[in-house]
Structure 1
Amino acid sequence: MSVALQNRLWRAVADGDEYAAVDVLSKALSEGLGEEALLLDVIAPVQERVGAEWAADRLTVAQEHAATAINERAVAALAHRDPDGAGRSAARGRVTVACIDGEWHAFPARLVAETLRLRGWQVDYLGAQTPTQHLIAHLHRTNPGAVLLSSSIPTHLPAAHSAITACQAIGIPVMAGGRAFGPDGRYARALGADRWAADARRAAAALEEGVARPTPAALRQAVDDLPHLADQEYTMVVQSRVQLVRRTLADLEDRFPAMRSYTSEQLERTAEDLAHIVEFLATALYVDDTELFTSFLTWTADILEARHVPVRSLIAGLDVLAGQIRDFPRALALIREGTAALCGRPARPVPGSETPA
């Protein structure tokens, strides 16, 4: 049943037809499927497919944005079916759901918020990119039983660490969720979160079990949780990231001659790719985890190949970057591991490989 519904919703979303999408969901409701099942077993998998189709270069950025907007409005349509709040008594208590500062991917957090409302929680949903200082001000005013922090992009983990520490310092327990925290929640644990949940149902179950309030204590420093930060490599890479990108881009042309024929738009995209590499390198230094960096590089290689860009250009970029940070042993080790991961990938034919998309 869910697969058939997913396919019907996908066709509506892919066609950009908001009315058809809402009709699919309304019909399913009339046939007895519950709202939570629609949210988590139909809409959520369709949104996952939107991302996968974009990554495979079968949806443009504009189509991906349009599809996401339709799914967001579909969620809103479900949420607004009970405008008087009948059956949503908030008897379980009050919680806050927010995205980490800098995190624009709010869809997973919205699914969590709506699931919790369906289960009887009063939810303050703060949406995307919530500045930590404003989050803390809200928590002081509302004193919720817990705050659920969402992030999809690992480069926001340092900001997540600050938010987690700040919430706990005022006695509010933190549940972390989203892909940024690792497939098993390893980064949530490393950053000191009180709980981690892989999805909305498990977040609801954890809240129902109860999340104890932390005892307010002296504000922790990052190095208290992550002692490896004492070597200052993370700080130095972050402070020099603009220069690293600029110098690497300038030197890369000699290593990858195809760049000499790049348009200004292609050069801009290359600079953006290098900036992402440096950001993920810095984040991997922050949490001291090689897999965070290598996973990003192999994902990037898949994206580039789907757009007819050869992986050797990525490897060349890493080699040039390594020359810029030769005084940072942990960073150099990460780049070596990343290069090995790329070289170990199965070879894939790339049509028109000398001309990036």
Structure 2
Amino acid sequence: MSEPTTTTRAVRQLWLAVAAGDERGAAAVVHAALAQGVSEEAILLEVIAPVQEKVGAEWAADRLSVAQEHAATAINERVIATLTRHPGGSRPAADRGRVTVSCVDGEWHALPARLVAEVLTLRGWRVDYLGAQTPTPHLIAHLHLTNPDAVLLSGSITTHLPAAHAAVTASQAIGVPVLAGGRAFGPAGRYARALGADRWAADARAAADVLEKGIPRPDAPAVRHVVDDLPHLADQEYTMVVQSRPRLVKRTLADLEHRFPAMSVYSVAQRDRTAEDIAHIIDFLTTALYVADPEVLTAFMTWTADILTARGVPAHSLLAGLDTLADQLHDFPRTQKLLERAATAVTEHTVRPAPDTRTSA
């Protein structure tokens, strides 16, 4: 068996440190890798990024608590900060141009955007990193102030696509091109294209390559409405379901209590968690309506089925919630089709063994 590479060893050691909550140990791992000749970019993308992916996978498999997941993420963020000021380190002159890197409004998974910002800085760009959950009006105010060559929008959760769409159109309306990235924008960036983004990049290196080639500025764009990009929204189903969200959560929770008498002894915390789960299903349903893609909802439902299974909750319980929502939304044909597809996906998924979400490091 061949000896592990320096990068492979660093991934394993960093994982052990962040899982143990050992910030000093984590920092020592990455600085030892630097001393052994691993570049900063490689540490960011080939050590820290895969460790962060493992953090998410371990949480999904119920082997890390929410608190442990947050602590591990915070350690990775602080380790990144140490790279910018390590002894002997130097950054290239920021002479390629200026860009803004920001998460879309509501997106609190900021580490992917932080990795992009750091890689672009290493490639010689002046980067304004705005971090998580940047409201679109504040983003646009910043773009007015700085007039960057491009704005890079990061999103990890699909339900933030409507907010991303607003940011895309607002940025382009003031002449700033948009480069989108992150899992929220779908496989091969299909939702980025649907929302009218100028470019899409799969990762930080791809984003740097796109910027290197240049993104033309929009030519005095006219005011663009949502239906200009997504004409299916003219049926108003998305709008009406979004407006009905509080009522749908309340009625679905009440119906589930009727179907499952065991819920009568739920604690307040358990009832709140159930209401949150219903709200998440509705959020993914409305996003599927927004982009006219059933996979938005079916992927979330099968992922949720695996999460519930890992926590000892029967995944088929999701079907009751989908049935209740279908009863309430019987007048919306696109919505009915989405709920039917989701129910079929859950049924087919739960008869197969759940995938092993563990990752090796």
Secondary structure of 2:274's partner? helix
Letter in 2 for 1:34: S
Secondary structure of 1:113's partner? helix
Pairwise CA distance, 1:348: 6.4
Pairwise CA distance, 1:252: 1.1
2:229 equivalent among 225, 232, 250 = 225
Pairwise CA distance, 1:80: 2.3
Distance in 1 (alpha carbons) for counterparts of 2:203 and 2:262: 43
Gaps of 5+ in 2: 355-361
Could you say which residue in structure 1 is the equivalent of 2:357? none
1:1-357, aligned counterparts within 5 Å? 1=5, 2-81=7-86, 86-347=90-351
Distance in 2 (alpha carbons) for counterparts of 1:117 and 1:8: 26
Pairwise CA distance, 1:3: 2.0
Distance in 2 (alpha carbons) for counterparts of 1:90 and 1:328: 52
Pairwise CA distance, 1:262: 2.0
Distance in 2 (alpha carbons) for counterparts of 1:312 and 1:264: 23
Gaps of 5+ in 1: 351-357
Deviations, residues 270-318 of structure 1 (Å, cap 9, x unaligned): 1000000000000000000011110000001111111111112111110
Distance in 1 (alpha carbons) for counterparts of 2:277 and 2:91: 48
Could you say which residue in structure 1 is the equivalent of 2:359? none
Letter in 1 for 2:245: R
Distance in 1 (alpha carbons) for counterparts of 2:345 and 2:91: 52
Deviations, residues 127-185 of structure 1 (Å, cap 9, x unaligned): 11111111111111111100000011111100100000000011100000011000210
Distance in 2 (alpha carbons) for counterparts of 1:241 and 1:160: 20
Distance in 2 (alpha carbons) for counterparts of 1:34 and 1:88: 14
Q: Give the alignment's TM-score, normalised by structure 1.
A: 0.95
Q: Do 2:173 and 2:221's aligned partners in 1 also have CA atoms closer than 8 Å?
A: yes
Pairwise CA distance, 1:258: 3.0
Secondary structure of 2:239's partner? helix
Q: Do 2:315 and 2:350's aligned partners in 1 also have CA atoms closer than 8 Å?
A: no
**Pair 270,279 (structure 1): closer, same or farther in 2 beyond 3 Å:** same
**Pair 178,349 (structure 1): closer, same or farther in 2 beyond 3 Å:** closer
Distance in 2 (alpha carbons) for counterparts of 1:55 and 1:221: 38
Tell me whether 338-347 or 293-302 shows the greater mean CA deviation: 338-347
Give the CA RMSD over aligned residues. 1.4
Deviations, residues 316-349 of structure 1 (Å, cap 9, x unaligned): 1100111110011101110000000001014368
Pairwise CA distance, 1:91: 1.2
Q: Do 2:173 and 2:220's aligned partners in 1 also have CA atoms closer than 8 Å?
A: yes
Deviations, residues 187-212 of structure 1 (Å, cap 9, x unaligned): 00000000000110100011111111
Distance in 2 (alpha carbons) for counterparts of 1:200 and 1:230: 36
Distance in 1 (alpha carbons) for counterparts of 2:337 and 2:292: 11
Distance in 1 (alpha carbons) for counterparts of 2:172 and 2:155: 18
Distance in 2 (alpha carbons) for counterparts of 1:253 and 1:5: 49
Distance in 2 (alpha carbons) for counterparts of 1:329 and 1:82: 62
Q: Do 1:256 and 1:313's aligned partners in 2 also have CA atoms closer than 8 Å?
A: no
Overall identity of the aligned pairs, in %: 68
Q: Do 1:166 and 1:219's aligned partners in 2 also have CA atoms closer than 8 Å?
A: no
Distance in 2 (alpha carbons) for counterparts of 1:27 and 1:114: 19
Deviations, residues 99-143 of structure 1 (Å, cap 9, x unaligned): 101111100000000000000000000111111111111111111
Q: Which has the higher contact order (CA 8 A, sep 6+)?
A: 2
Q: Do 1:108 and 1:178's aligned partners in 2 also have CA atoms closer than 8 Å?
A: yes
Q: Give the alignment's TM-score, normalised by structure 2.
A: 0.94
